[in-house]
Amino acid sequence: MSTVPADLKYTRSHEWVRILADGTVAVGITDHAQHALGDLVFVEVPEAGRAVKADEPCAVVESVKAASDVYAPLAGEVTAGNPRLKEEPETVNTDPYGEGWLMRLKPAPGALTSAAFLSAADYRKVLEAEGG
C-alpha cells in the first residue's frame, strides 16, 4: 500500500498539494502515481511566471513505459519548477512528497478556498476503489 501523508491535500488525478506558510502551495505526484508510472527518466516542469488554470496540464512525467500529464490542482501562477528534476528525475520516485516536488504555485485569489481537494482519508478511498 502506498504512502498517503495525512497533512497533505490530494486530487483524483493523483497530485498532492502542500499549503506553505507564505500562502503558496507545493505540488507533486503521489507515491501511488510514481509507483504506477515506474522509473522516471524525464520530468518537464513549468517555467516560473506561467499562469495556469485549474486542471490544466502543466507538467509531464515520463517513465520508460509511459508519459503522463500532471494537472494544476488549482488556478494560479507558477513561482518555481523544481530545478533538480532536470538532472535527477528519479527523485520523484525516491521522495515523491519531499525533494521530488514538481512546482510551486501562487494561488489565484479565492482559488485555494474554492478548490475541492481530497483529504488523505478520502484519497485513500480513491486508491482502494482503483484497486491500489
Partner 1 sequence: MAFIPHTEADVAAMLATIGAAGIENLFDEIPPDLRVKSLAGVPPELNEMEIGRLMTERARADGAPLAFIGAGAYEHHIPAAVWAITTRGEFYSAYTPYQAEASQGTLQLIYEFQTMIARLTGMEVANASMYDGASATAEAALMAVRANRKSKSARILVPTTLHPHYRRVAVTTAANQGLKFEELPYCTAEGVTPSASLARYDGQDITALVIQQPNFFGRLEDVDALTDWAHARAILVIAVVNPTALALLEPPGEWGTRGADIAVGEGQPLGVPLCSGGPYFGFMTTRMEYVRQMPGRIVGRTLDAAGRAGFTLTLQAREQHIRRAKATSNICTNQGLLVTAATIYMSLMGAQGLARTAAAAHARTRELVAGLTRVPGVHLAFSGPYFHEAVLQLDRPVAPVLKSLSNRGILGGLDLSGYFPELGDALLVCATETKTSADIDRYRACLSEVMQAARAA
Q: Which residues bind partner 1 (CB under 8 A)?
A: 42, 44, 47, 57, 62-67, 69
- In angstroms, the CA 83 to CA 101 distance is 10
Nearer CB in complex with partner 1: 71/117:
71
Minimum distance from residue 62 beta carbon to partner 1 (Å): 5
Cβ proximity to partner 1, 48 vs 121, nearer residue:
48
Which three-class secondary structure state does DSSP give residue 12? coil
Q: Which residue has the cell 503558496?
A: 24
- CB 41, min distance to partner 1, A: 8
Cβ closest to partner 1, residue 1 vs residue 65: 65
Min CB(58)–partner 1 separation in Å? 12
Distance linking the first and last C-alpha atoms of the chain: 7
Are the CB atoms for 76 and 105 separated by under 8 Å?
Answer: yes
Q: Which is nearer to partner 1, 44 or 77 (CB)?
A: 44
Strand, helix or coil for residue 99: coil
Residue with cell 525516491: 94
